[in-house]
Amino acid sequence: MKNLTDTLSSLWGNLTATILSGAEGLGIYVDKRKLTLVQVQKNLSGIKPEFFRQIAYKTDNPEEVLPALRETIQDWKSLGSPVSLAVSSDFGFFQKGVLPIAASENLVQVVAYELDRFLPLPASDLYYTFHVVKETDQEIHFMFLAVPRQRIERWLNILKEAGLRPVGLELAPCAAANAALLLAEKKFPPSWLLLHTMTDGFELTQINGRAVNNFSVKREIPRKDFIRVVQTHLARIVAEGSGSTTLCVYGKFTRDMVNRLSQEYEFEVVHPGQIVLPESPGQREEGESLTAVGAALTCLGKPSVEHNLLPLTEREPVSFRSFSLIKILFCLLVALGLIWAGSALIHKRVLLFQINRQIAAVTPEAREVEGLIKEGRALAQQMENLRNIGASPDTLLMLRNLTQIIPQNTWLYSVRLSKQVLEIGGMSQSASELIPLLEKSGWLKKTEFVSPIVTDANKLEHFKIKAEIKGLETASR
């Protein structure tokens, strides 16, 4: 009886795999010491990991994984397959930021220009994405996700040399969240928390809808303080009013820790479903396999938590190797949809024609009103421009005073003046001395560094400083 059951199960698996031919994806998770590779197959019976392997490497030489990776790809018959790369959070940045509400008019351009205010590298040196967490009457609050381009390009080149086609790039918590949503035996609420516990620390991610709204990480925690530190971070998120009532925990944790967290904050604690992976030598950590499976899901469709850092222009196109029954049915469905949409369009065109005839009767009056509105807007814009000119400080006077303050061992390469805010950037032999000098000038206040000081090979300190302008005319006298 058991043999018959196994045979039927095998036939069903082969049949469903044939119906959904080509529905497979490769997911790779990379941390500081190893590469984890998973091939996931999707058919009518669900999503199932088919192959699993881990390859160790030295941190400063990731190219040494290439021979073993090529061999694995050939053994799995996955040459030319799409692959999505997930990298450890240690490789990148989760950073919050705030911009004025006026930036919403050209949001993408403004973010790219201002990115180095929030991250230690400019936009040209990063793979990054961002999303709006919330808006107020005055500000837009963002969450930035980014990884250094130079480091990640090495890994993308390795994947291409191994015969794979990168289609996705994400930070590990995003990939793990997608896997948890797929494997958990319950539906998650719109806002929930993902806790990855490790031997020496943890990562805590808040998911809201399809985006990461909060992230914190802690390393090298003494074992006796572990639960207390986790509770502190959870308390901070709860105090911010996240509304999260579900906590998904994976990695290295104890039942006592889970019980204490559940009782302390009344969270519903859930665990991802057990991932059944093929046999492989050595030990594997749940976080590594879960993240690799989550990365593979990017190749199989739109993930639930979508933060693909790879630009569209750098993603390899996904090709389909053969038509399947599902694809044919999908084409038929699209054709029927087009026919229905066409009939609806004809009906709407008739209604539109009737409406246009009615509008034609009132067009002259409408155009006259429109002309008056445009004239009023133009006058309002002129008034606004005049007010802005009156509110702006004297630029030449500001530069003269600034030249008198800056010491001889300091050079400026950027000066930005926006209403009553001055931003300067440059390099100095002692950047820390600039703040007191600027404060003593008498015409600057709230002087502060807006990014970390970076020392170059010539031992010059690169800096960015922001200050508010006060009493410029008085100080110049």
Backbone Cα Rg of the chain:
29
366 against 326, higher pLDDT: 366
pLDDT of residue 358: 76
424 and 453 housed in the same domain? yes
Q: What pLDDT is recorded for position 40?
A: 86
Distances (CA, A) of 60 to 56, 64, 172: 12, 10, 20
pLDDT value for 155: 94
Residue 223's domain is classified under what CATH number? 3.30.420.40
> Can you give the pLDDT at residue 103?
86
Q: Average pLDDT over the chain, rounded to whole?
A: 80
Domain interval for residue 430 = 395-469
| 168, part of any domain | yes
Q: Are residues 306 and 421 in the same domain?
A: no
83 compared with 200, residue with greater pLDDT: 83
| 434/463 same-domain check | yes
Residue pLDDT, tens place only, 48-65: 778 889 999 988 899 999
Please tell me the total count of domains within the chain. 3
Within a domain: 121: yes
Determine the length of the chain.
477
Q: Are residues 99 and 173 in the same domain?
A: yes
How much of the chain, in percent, has pLDDT values that exceed 70? Answer: 82
Alpha-carbon distance of 60 to 64, in angstroms, equals 10
| 82 and 108 both lie in a single domain | yes
pLDDT at 359 over 70: yes
Name the more confident of 366 and 380. 380
78-92, 255-269, 452-466 — which is least confidently predicted?
A: 255-269
Rounded to two decimals, the pTM is 0.61
> For 402-417, what is the mean pLDDT?
83
What CATH number has the domain bearing residue 433?
3.30.1360.100
Give the count of beta carbons closer than 10 Å to the beta carbon of residue 468: 14
Let me know if residue 369 belongs to a domain.
no
Say whether both 303 and 245 belong to one domain.
no
Q: Do 32 and 145 share a domain, yes or no?
A: yes
284 has a pLDDT exceeding 60: no
- Same-domain pairing of 405 and 422: yes
**Is position 211 within any domain?**
yes
Q: Is residue 193 part of a domain?
A: yes
Residue 8: the pLDDT is 54
Rounded mean pLDDT, 10-33: 66
- The 10s digit of each residue's pLDDT in 98-115 is 999 888 888 889 888 888
Residue 89 and residue 162 in one domain? yes
Same domain, 459 and 449: yes
- The answer to whether residue 359 is domain-embedded is no
**CATH code at position 71:** 3.30.420.380
Q: Is there a domain that residue 123 lies in?
A: yes
The most confident of 158-167, 305-314, 342-351, 391-400, by mean pLDDT = 158-167
In a shared domain, residues 107 and 75 = yes
Q: Which residues contact 232 (CB under 8 A, 6 or more apart)?
A: none
Identify whether residues 171 and 296 lie together within a single domain: yes
CA–CA dist 8, 16 (Å, integer): 12
Answer whether residue 354 is part of any domain: no
